[in-house]
């Protein structure tokens, strides 16, 4: 049986309205390694050799779901550090998710997680791996 895509080195991508603003946020605020690539796209170089493409889209509408998750050792420390850099965390008051004053969801059925948006309104998260 053919493996089809099993061995393909897949990658993800998402759109933003303004590449310059996005690149500044990803590098200066989040501390990611970002390169400018052909055809006017950005490449986010993530830990473990993973890459995500970010491309411009004039009529970009942000997704209503999380497009990128960052596992961290401590959500509390990461939220504090990113907040100090101007990142605003989302606050939810629904039964699920429900966040505390810092914007962290601490539901015992899952990892501690906090959501924030990039300048284009894309939703990212930081979460503790158990």
According to the model, what pLDDT value does residue 101 have?
A: 96
The residues that bridge with 21 in the sheet, in sequence order, are: none
3-class state of residue 31 by DSSP:
coil
pLDDT, averaged per 10 consecutive residues of the chain (130 residues), comes to 78 95 97 94 94 95 95 96 97 89 94 97 92
Domain segments of the chain as ranges: 12-128
pLDDT number for residue 5: 87
pLDDT of the residue at 7: 83
User: What is residue 68's predicted lDDT score, i.e. its pLDDT?
Assistant: 96
Question: Among 73, 130, 82, 83, which Cα is nearest to 107's?
Answer: 130
pLDDT of 66: 96
Which two tokens mark 21?
């603003």
Q: How many CA atoms lie within 13 A of 74 on its CB side?
A: 6
Task: Note the pLDDT of residue 2.
Answer: 65
- Domain at 12-128: CATH code: 3.10.180.10
């Amino acid at each position: 049986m053919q493996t089809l895509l099993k061995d393909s080195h897949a990658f993800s991508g998402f759109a933003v309205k303004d590449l310059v603003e996005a690149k500044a946020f990803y590098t200066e605020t989040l501390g990611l390694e970002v390169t400018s690539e052909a055809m006017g796209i950005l490449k986010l170089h993530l830990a473990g050799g993973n890459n995500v493409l970010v491309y411009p889209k004039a009529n970009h509408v942000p997704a209503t779901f999380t497009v990128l998750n960052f596992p961290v050792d401590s959500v509390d420390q990461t939220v504090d550090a990113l907040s100090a850099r101007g990142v605003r965390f989302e606050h939810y008051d629904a039964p699920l998710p429900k966040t505390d004053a810092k914007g962290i969801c601490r539901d015992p059925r899952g990892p501690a997680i906090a959501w924030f948006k990039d300048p284009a309104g894309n939703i990212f998260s930081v979460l503790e791996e158990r």
